[in-house]
Structure 1
Amino acid sequence: MGTTSHTTETGLQVRRVVISGYYGFRNSGDEAVLKSILFALEEEGRQQGLRIEPVVLSIDPAWTTGMYGVEAVHRMRLGEVVRAIRSSDGLISGGGSLLQDATSAKTIPYYTGILKLAQLLGKPTFAYAQGIGPVNRRWMDRLIRGVMRRSAYVSVRDTESAALLGRIGVPRDRIDVVPDPVMALPLPAAQPPAGGPGAGAALPLIGVSLRHWRKDGADLALFAAALGALNRSRAVRLRFLPFHTPSDAEASRWVMERLGDLGGSTAEIAEPGEDPQQMLLEVSRCDALLGMRLHALIYAANQSVPMLGLSYDPKIDQFLNRIGLTPIGTTEALDPQAFVTAMGELLDNPEQWRSRHQAAISQLKQEARRPAKQIAAYLR
């Protein structure tokens, strides 16, 4: 079927697949998506007698190759992209929030353009756990509809994304609703010893993932007030987790400067480096997590860490809803006392939280590899 099909010495058929997404930008969430997809394709491919050789479209191909040990080409150099797709057996688009126009009017035309290019070159295309929307410019509907209807397999990460695709004309029975791929990301094989700067063994460790959102900073001021109230109610160790550097680290420092008197508490910023699995390890060590970044919440669910979510985008509410949760606050409102009470319950009764949500979490982890399984079956 493809141009690269051959068989390895171990009897595995080789399939070369181009992967398109927001890669090489050092965003921990998107890099975690890529790493999860690579893991899943390797494992599911092997189970079906394939060795899937990925080629990643990246803004920084050398960095991507160094980080994951895979071939990468520059996502903005059309000649390189065309050559990669032409010599492949198919193209995967995903995951993450690629098809939305909230961050830029260029995002949807770029990612649908890559899909359309692969289809024009006669390659099967696959949407891998995409988050669709918001789409505020109606003329973009036809771009999305055109490439999705021509794709061999379409999966989205929530029912709202499926509903949006349905409304713009993609047949609902062709859309597979699956969890975010990061739900299946494993911890690194060799775990470094626990503990870090300012480690206080007696203090409960709370991971905090914040980002800039409101231009006036009023949301971060709300969160600082709530964390300050928590510090006054009990001694804790706040460990800020920057998922997108340097902006998240700047937001974290801004909040830390406004916490007021820490009392018996401590506050610090983690430096897990650029490997997503190291950030997953950071989250796994937390007793609880306050998360604004979607992938901070997904990491916490992956490791069954009790969490409270802060909503700035419908994708936060959608993910929390899948494990039976609602946000503790938003960028517009967060009651400090309600936050202190809720966090206290998580710290005092973590097993109660786990028993209530473990079934939903286990199901998501189990289903997260389904796109890789379907894609491998098609390529075989």
Structure 2
Amino acid sequence: MRPPVRVGVFGLLGSGNLGNDGSLEAVLGYLRAEHPAASVDALCGGPEVVTARYGIPATRLHWYRGEYRTASRAGAIAGKGLGKLVDVVRTAAWVRRHDVVIVPGMGVLEATLPLRPWGFPYSLFLLCASGRLFGTKVALVGVGAGPVGNRLTRGLVRRSARLAAYRSYRDAQSRDALREMGVDTARDEVYPDLAFALPTPRAGAPSSPPGPVCVGVMDFHGGDDDRARAGEIHRRYLDGTTRFVRALVEDGRPVRLLTGDECDRSVVAAILEAVDSPLVTAAEATSLADLMKETAAADTVVATRYHNLVCALKAGTPTLALSYAAKSDALMDRMGLAAYCHPAREVDADRLLEQFRALEKRSAELRRTLAERNAVAARQLQEQFTALTAALFPTTDRAQARTRQETP
């Protein structure tokens, strides 16, 4: 009897980012449905959270626990340096134990947020190089990519992508970005974000009179190339978003503040203090499922984080994007709402309010559009999973999967 396929999942999972964890949840759903005999474990940022929430064994991604804290003292700097060497051995040993390793979604090939080359880009390179060395298939599934300014980071991203056995992307811009870096993407496909494969909550009926608005906020300081003016970008973003929330409250609209990462809570606290109204409350979402329920209950959503947008659009709620990267614009275009994007770097509360009111006037029409686009996304993601099975799993495993599907 053939032993079970050993599958690893890899990434900054269980670390407080709901979008990353939602991508993991979608891939685990696929594995449990199509390859239930597979043995699955993780190498990730928050192993305790992943094991408790998803029921799979998990190992810490980095030997040095302060990997993502700024190192200023000699001991911390030495610890980080030693950790880089230890992680070479740890990553290689973990990869060698698997037949397949899946990197589920996430923007692992982009630098739209501040990023150091010796952080996650280095970890991803170790993964892909180990996979090539030991014959373990590494799959970058539905990932995001983008132009990378830093030369070293760009080199690590390019080499990682070339070493992977399988690549697919969540938008065409991601594939184009890798092609421009010199990666052969001729056989790579584009599919909707993996979170569109998660269960959809029941959408609420629009309120009369106008009801709640979800505003998804972010601890936004610009991208990797904006470090010199990060403070200015953050102040402008926070001021514009706060003034927009205050305008909604003055119109009598209940506002529900959403986050997508632990670091966003400071922005929520600042807005709550500045607006100081019982009409403004903060959601305590711990998963994309929670976020989808919040957005499904709203009349309209205005959001910054990419996966806040995904949740709102999947829930079928008319949505306006405070866009900070091309991936947000691409997502809105895919879902038929390209006209409703506003730059996160230059939030103009008056202009944003105009766009918001224009969006609400077309609410019924846009809900129909979203229903149609979501049906297309579901079909395309099923194609993604079929392609993934063909690329990664043995023929006997595929035959078993077909037998299960055909059994009444």
Do the two structures share a fold, i.e. TM-score over 0.5? Answer: yes
Q: C-alpha deviations, 1:112-134, integer Å up to 9, x for none?
A: 22111122111111111111123
CA shift, 1:139, in A, is: 4.1
CA–CA distance in 2 between the matches of 1:296 and 1:207? 10
Contact 1:311/1:327, CA 8 A, preserved across alignment: no
Whose helix fraction is larger, Structure 1's or Structure 2's?
Answer: 2
Confirm whether residue 66 of structure 1 aligns to residue 52 of structure 2: yes
CA shift, 1:156, in A, is: 1.1
Contact 2:171/2:190, CA 8 A, preserved across alignment: yes
Confirm whether residue 85 of structure 1 aligns to residue 98 of structure 2: no
CA–CA distance in 2 between the matches of 1:80 and 1:17? 17
User: Which amino acid counterpart does residue 238 of structure 1 have in structure 2?
Assistant: V
1:254 counterpart residue number: 270
Confirm whether residue 227 of structure 1 aligns to residue 245 of structure 2: yes
User: Which amino acid counterpart does residue 47 of structure 2 have in structure 1?
Assistant: P
Contact 1:207/1:241, CA 8 A, preserved across alignment: yes
1:42 counterpart residue number: 32
Confirm whether residue 208 of structure 1 aligns to residue 215 of structure 2: yes
Structure 2: where are the runs of 5+ without partners? 64-86, 222-230, 395-408
Question: Residue 5 of structure 2 aligns to a residue in which SS?
Answer: strand
2:259 counterpart residue number: 242
CA–CA distance in 2 between the matches of 1:58 and 1:140? 20
Contact 1:310/1:328, CA 8 A, preserved across alignment: yes
Q: C-alpha deviations, 1:84-115, integer Å up to 9, x for none?
A: 32221111123111123442222322212211
CA–CA distance in 1 between the matches of 2:260 and 2:387? 30
Deviating above 6 A after TM superposition, structure 1's stretches of 4 or more consecutive aligned residues are none
CA–CA distance in 2 between the matches of 1:275 and 1:133? 26
Contact 1:93/1:115, CA 8 A, preserved across alignment: no
User: Which amino acid counterpart does residue 310 of structure 1 have in structure 2?
Assistant: L
Question: Residue 114 of structure 1 aligns to a residue in which SS?
Answer: helix
TM-score by length of 1: 0.84
Q: Against the structure 1 CA distance between its residues 326 and 346, is the aligned structure 2 distance closer, same or farther, given a 3 Å change threshold? A: closer
Structure 1: where are the runs of 5+ without partners? 7-13, 195-199
Confirm whether residue 332 of structure 1 aligns to residue 345 of structure 2: yes
Confirm whether residue 321 of structure 1 aligns to residue 339 of structure 2: no
CA shift, 1:283, in A, is: 2.1
Confirm whether residue 367 of structure 1 aligns to residue 364 of structure 2: no
2:74 counterpart residue number: none
Q: C-alpha deviations, 1:300-353, integer Å up to 9, x for none?
A: 111111100001222222222222324542233334344334333444542211
Contact 1:208/1:239, CA 8 A, preserved across alignment: yes
Contact 2:169/2:189, CA 8 A, preserved across alignment: yes
Confirm whether residue 218 of structure 1 aligns to residue 236 of structure 2: yes
CA–CA distance in 2 between the matches of 1:20 and 1:164? 22
Confirm whether residue 32 of structure 1 aligns to residue 26 of structure 2: no
Contact 1:91/1:125, CA 8 A, preserved across alignment: yes
CA shift, 1:141, in A, is: 4.2
RCO comparison, higher one (Cα < 8 Å, 6+): 1
Contact 2:214/2:256, CA 8 A, preserved across alignment: yes
Using the TM superposition, name which of 79-88 and 173-182 deviates more: 79-88
Confirm whether residue 105 of structure 1 aligns to residue 117 of structure 2: yes
Q: Against the structure 1 CA distance between its residues 291 and 154, is the aligned structure 2 distance closer, same or farther, given a 3 Å change threshold? A: same
CA–CA distance in 2 between the matches of 1:336 and 1:149? 43
Using the TM superposition, name which of 316-325 and 175-184 deviates more: 316-325
User: Which amino acid counterpart does residue 52 of structure 2 have in structure 1?
Assistant: G
Q: C-alpha deviations, 1:212-262, integer Å up to 9, x for none?
A: 223241211011112222322x321101112112x21210121232336x5
Whose strand fraction is larger, Structure 1's or Structure 2's?
Answer: 1
Using the TM superposition, name which of 200-209 and 160-169 deviates more: 200-209
Percent of aligned pairs with the same amino acid:
22
Confirm whether residue 303 of structure 1 aligns to residue 315 of structure 2: yes
CA–CA distance in 1 between the matches of 2:362 and 2:172? 31
Q: 2:177 aligns with which of 161, 164, 170?
A: 164
Q: Against the structure 1 CA distance between its residues 211 and 375, is the aligned structure 2 distance closer, same or farther, given a 3 Å change threshold? A: same
TM-score by length of 2: 0.78
